[in-house]
Structure 1
Amino acid sequence: MEQPLDYLKNCVQNDWLIGCNSHQFQELTQELYLELKQLLAGGTPPKIILAEREPVRFLASFIAACAANCPVFLCNPDWGKQEWQQVFDLVQPDIIWGLGIGDQGSRGAEGQRGRGAEERILNSQLPTPHSALPCTDAINRVSQHSLVQTRLIASLSTQHSALIMIPTGGSSGQIKFAIQTWETLMASVRGFTEYFQIKQVNSFCVLPLYHVSGLMQFMRSFTTGGQLVILPFKTVESGQIYNINPSEFFISLVPTQLQRLLQNPQLTEWLTQFTTVLLGGAPAWHELLEKARFHRIRLAPTYGMTETASQIATLKPDDFLNGKINSGQILPHAQIKICDRQGKVLNSNQTGNITIETKSLALGYYPQTWSDRNYFQVDDLGFLDEQGYLNIVGRSSEKIITGGENIYPAEIEAAIRETQMIADICVIGVSDKYWGQALTALYVPTNFNTSTIEIQAILKGKLSKFKIPKHWISLPTLPRNSQGKINRQQLQQIATEFLLSTND
């Protein structure tokens, strides 16, 4: 299997980073790789936190770390002090790249080693946390933990290439790192190219590179000899777009981004020119999909996650334009089974828990590895139809039980969106002494005089009475992360406090 530097050599003569300096990327990668190789003479590969904002530096640092077989932790430079505290407690990094540490030229890996850099980030870049690090007591408390991590990395390094830790779970307030490797990411790339029957992948990336959705766009283009455009979404939204041929590119969006682009006629027309518009990160609502279909956008709704190195099921654009509304068929590198609670495999059109087997599956959550990587059961509920298309019903953990009835929010949210009287919606269950859980809708109205009574009247003709929310809370915006996923934990707190205040 080709390794990172092999792919780097293949693109030396190719100006593949559109809008960026491809030559600078290659030079910087080689420079950082040589610095790391010098450090490796000391034994265990250093743990690297990668939080570079600038795309060329991020990608060069990533490839250098992978080529040197150093464990690299991809991080969001905009995390707050509590999130960074979690990361430093967990990782105990040796090197920090990004966050203003080091100069703008050669950052000097050796100069950024140790907990001094960590202290500067926590104490100057961010507000000082209550238990500021580092201090002697804190270091003593984590010394045993660090020893376990070192043994883990040493053990895994003998079995796999570079360990790539990709963040997940940030929207719930608890950051986890899925342990991927160069091999698992490449398995995802091969599954993608085989599914779409292409050799080179040109990607237009508006998603964060530290997230699996952005990283995999880079991986597909870098390893297949394709071109890569990296632009902040706000730049695209303002209409500042590179002069490329969209019909030769894939673009990846989350539903909220698609919604915003469809509000601009020029950008809507621009989207229609792409060969494929991949849509993932969060469930898309029916109205949004219908609008995209009306404009003949070649949409490809996807299903995947950080733990599977991005998508493992995708609806092809022709199927979407012909009226299908599911997550598509399974990519070649993966298998999906639908099982009941006892683990029995269900037949077509029977709803159950989604169980995944894939070559792109993570090794575990850092610092633990999974003892059994043959099957990965997720919280999502769905079914496979006769043609093998995956249909997502909802999440088991989001199930609401009210008055003894089981309710999945996705159905209620879709019905509310169809009224076209709200701009955003999330349905949750709030503890209730009479019903067990009371169905509660937190929504963003389309205008100031939106009537919830009118919305409920419309819903009575569409939903059973017990599925109509009992409480309605209007908000200016709903808390979503960069992938468009709702922060339900925060909404639970908002709803609980609101209902307590109204009952006082």
Structure 2
Amino acid sequence: MQRPLAYLNNYTESDWLIGGNSYQFQQLAEILYLELTQLLTNKIPPKIILCEREPVRFLAGFIAACAAGCPVFLCNPDWGKQEWQQVFELIQPDIIWGMGHRNNAPCPMPHAPCPMPNQIMIPTGGSSGQIKFAIHTWETLMSSVEGFTEYFQLKQVNSLCILPLYHVSGLMQFMRSFTTGGQLAVTSFKTIESGKNYKINPSDFFTSLVPTQLQRCLQNPQLTEWIAQFQTVLLGGAPAWPELLEKARFHHIRLAPTYGMTETASQIATLKPDDFLNGKISSGQILPHAKVTICNQQGSVLSFHQTGNITVQTKSLALGYYPQIEENRDSFSVDDLGFLDEQGYLNIVGRNSDKIITGGENIYPIEIESAIQATQMVVDVCVIGIPDKHWGQVLTALYIPKDSNTSNLEIQTLLKNKLSKFKIPKYWIPQQNLPRNSQGKINRQQLQQIAQKFLQNLS
């Protein structure tokens, strides 16, 4: 397996970074690499926080750190003061690349030796207020790249990346292009919405969206027409609702719904665009570098179409969470519930931790949220369970109505033919916005607090 510098040398005369300066990237990566090698004389690789906002500087720093074998922590420059305090206490960095920390963060603490050179720490979690770093290596990331290219039968991957590079979904777009000799364009979703047109042929490119971004694209005729030209539009980060998928299919968008996570270095299952356009509904088949089994609570493997806990075995699996490496880790039990069909397609039912038990019935919010979205009367919705002394939990929907005059009774009337009575939320709380992160994942903990405060004011 080639190392980072070998790939960097392949690009000596290539203008592969669209909208950025490929020569500047290479020069900066080499300069930073030399600086790091000079610091390695004491045999203790410096721990690096990488929070550059500018893509060329971020990517150059990433490659330099990987090439020098220094532990690098990918960080969000927009974290708040509390989050930065958490990060500094956990990492105790030697080097910080990026200016974003200066506005929000306290000064770094004195460093402590890092037990893990050659490793890449990618942030995960955060919606609960607790940031964790999944420990990856160049090899685990490359296993993900190899599984992806084999699955899609590609030699080169061209990517338009509009997701954050510090997140696994953005980083892996870079990795796929950089290590296969493909082209990469990096921009922001705001720039795309503003109408800036990159000089690329979309039919040669992959891009990745989260559901809320896809929804906004489909509300803009020009963006809809543009996104429909892409070779493949990967969709992940959060569950997509049926209405959104149907609308994308209507506009012939070559969508590829994916299932994966930071711990697996991006997707381990993907529905191919032709399957999607032909009406298939699932998270797709398992990529070659991974294996998925469905187990019951006792750990026994279940048959086709039987719902249970998802367990993943993959060469791209993270080694643990910083600073703890899990020895001989060969599988990962996910909080998600799902089933496999006879063709090996993975179907996600919901998250075990999101399960709501009301009157002895197990309910998974994703089913109810999808039904509410399908009424086309809400912009966004989240269903949670509020503690109740009679029922255990009661279903509560926090939603953004499309029309301020919309009554929740109208929505409930439309749901009566779609859902069992016990699955229709008892409480409906209109909101102006729902707290989601940049990948579209909802902050259910924050919504619990909003709902409980709202219901206390009613009593």
Residue by residue over 1:139-181, the C-alpha shift from the partner in whole angstroms, topping out at 9 and shown as x without a partner, is 6xxx8xx45xx3x32xxx4xxxx20000000122110000000
Q: Which runs of 5+ in 2 are unaligned?
A: none
Is residue 390 of structure 1 aligned with residue 308 of structure 2?
no
Residue by residue over 1:53-106, the C-alpha shift from the partner in whole angstroms, topping out at 9 and shown as x without a partner, is 000000000000000000000000000001001100100000000025xxxxxx
Return the alpha-carbon distance in structure 2 between the equivalents of residues 5 and 427 of structure 1.
Answer: 48
Q: How does 1:146-185 map to 2 (within 5 A)?
A: 146=112, 150=114, 152-153=115-116, 157=117, 162-185=118-141
Is residue 125 of structure 1 aligned with residue 81 of structure 2?
no
In structure 1, the residue matched to 2:26 is 26
The code of the aligned residue for 2:224 comes to T
Return the alpha-carbon distance in structure 2 between the equivalents of residues 397 and 458 of structure 1.
Answer: 28
Return the alpha-carbon distance in structure 1 between the equivalents of residues 146 and 35 of structure 2.
Answer: 31
Deviation (angstroms), 1:42:
1.5
Give the conservation status (yes or no) of the 8 Å contact 2:93–2:108: no
Deviation (angstroms), 1:464:
1.0
In structure 1, the residue matched to 2:168 is 212
In structure 1, the residue matched to 2:78 is 78
Residue by residue over 1:303-328, the C-alpha shift from the partner in whole angstroms, topping out at 9 and shown as x without a partner, is 00000000000000000000001000
The code of the aligned residue for 2:384 comes to I
Is residue 266 of structure 1 aligned with residue 229 of structure 2?
no
Return the alpha-carbon distance in structure 2 between the equivalents of residues 436 and 468 of structure 1.
Answer: 16
Deviation (angstroms), 1:385:
0.3
Equivalent pairs, count:
459
Return the alpha-carbon distance in structure 2 between the equivalents of residues 52 and 457 of structure 1.
Answer: 50
SS in 1 for 2:127: helix
Give the conservation status (yes or no) of the 8 Å contact 1:51–1:99: yes
Deviation (angstroms), 1:43:
1.7
Return the alpha-carbon distance in structure 2 between the equivalents of residues 80 and 434 of structure 1.
Answer: 40
Give the conservation status (yes or no) of the 8 Å contact 2:135–2:322: yes
Residue 237 (structure 2) aligned to one of 253, 264, 281: 281
Give the conservation status (yes or no) of the 8 Å contact 2:85–2:105: no
In structure 1, the residue matched to 2:43 is 43
Return the alpha-carbon distance in structure 2 between the equivalents of residues 126 and 288 of structure 1.
Answer: 37
In structure 2, the residue matched to 1:437 is 393
Q: How does 1:81-480 map to 2 (within 5 A)?
A: 81-99=81-99, 121=101, 125-126=103-104, 134=109, 146=112, 150=114, 152-153=115-116, 157=117, 162-480=118-436
Is residue 6 of structure 1 aligned with residue 23 of structure 2?
no
SS in 1 for 2:97: strand
Deviation (angstroms), 1:331:
0.2
Return the alpha-carbon distance in structure 2 between the equivalents of residues 287 and 310 of structure 1.
Answer: 25
Deviation (angstroms), 1:487:
0.6
Residue by residue over 1:215-255, the C-alpha shift from the partner in whole angstroms, topping out at 9 and shown as x without a partner, is 00000000000000111110001110212100000010000
Give the conservation status (yes or no) of the 8 Å contact 2:29–2:64: yes
In structure 2, the residue matched to 1:115 is none
Return the alpha-carbon distance in structure 1 between the equivalents of residues 357 and 15 of structure 2.
Answer: 56
The code of the aligned residue for 1:255 comes to P
Return the alpha-carbon distance in structure 1 between the equivalents of residues 231 and 108 of structure 2.
Answer: 49
Return the alpha-carbon distance in structure 2 between the equivalents of residues 169 and 175 of structure 1.
Answer: 5
Return the alpha-carbon distance in structure 1 between the equivalents of residues 223 and 421 of structure 2.
Answer: 40
The code of the aligned residue for 1:370 comes to E
SS in 1 for 2:42: coil
Give the conservation status (yes or no) of the 8 Å contact 1:206–1:214: yes
Return the alpha-carbon distance in structure 1 between the equivalents of residues 363 and 104 of structure 2.
Answer: 42
Residue by residue over 1:430-489, the C-alpha shift from the partner in whole angstroms, topping out at 9 and shown as x without a partner, is 111111111000000001101101111111121111111011100001000000000111
In structure 2, the residue matched to 1:487 is 443
Return the alpha-carbon distance in structure 2 between the equivalents of residues 440 and 277 of structure 1.
Answer: 33
SS in 2 for 1:172: coil
SS in 2 for 1:338: strand
The code of the aligned residue for 1:417 comes to Q
Return the alpha-carbon distance in structure 1 between the equivalents of residues 220 and 311 of structure 2.
Answer: 39
Return the alpha-carbon distance in structure 2 between the equivalents of residues 126 and 385 of structure 1.
Answer: 48
The code of the aligned residue for 1:188 comes to S
Relative distance call for 1:410 and 1:316 in structure 2 (3 A) is: same
The code of the aligned residue for 1:253 comes to L
The code of the aligned residue for 1:181 comes to T
Residue by residue over 1:254-289, the C-alpha shift from the partner in whole angstroms, topping out at 9 and shown as x without a partner, is 000000011111111111111100000100000000
Give the conservation status (yes or no) of the 8 Å contact 1:235–1:241: no
Return the alpha-carbon distance in structure 1 between the equivalents of residues 128 and 274 of structure 2.
Answer: 35
The code of the aligned residue for 2:162 comes to V
Give the conservation status (yes or no) of the 8 Å contact 1:272–1:295: yes
Return the alpha-carbon distance in structure 2 between the equivalents of residues 163 and 180 of structure 1.
Answer: 6
The code of the aligned residue for 1:3 comes to R
% same residue:
74
Return the alpha-carbon distance in structure 1 between the equivalents of residues 151 and 384 of structure 2.
Answer: 36
SS in 2 for 1:484: coil
CA RMSD, 1 decimal: 1.2
Return the alpha-carbon distance in structure 2 between the equivalents of residues 369 and 495 of structure 1.
Answer: 38
Deviation (angstroms), 1:371:
3.1
Return the alpha-carbon distance in structure 2 between the equivalents of residues 453 and 264 of structure 1.
Answer: 30
Deviation (angstroms), 1:126:
2.4
Relative distance call for 1:127 and 1:38 in structure 2 (3 A) is: closer
Deviation (angstroms), 1:372:
4.1
Return the alpha-carbon distance in structure 2 between the equivalents of residues 306 and 346 of structure 1.
Answer: 26
Return the alpha-carbon distance in structure 2 between the equivalents of residues 343 and 371 of structure 1.
Answer: 21
The code of the aligned residue for 1:462 comes to K
The code of the aligned residue for 2:155 comes to K
Return the alpha-carbon distance in structure 2 between the equivalents of residues 439 and 370 of structure 1.
Answer: 38
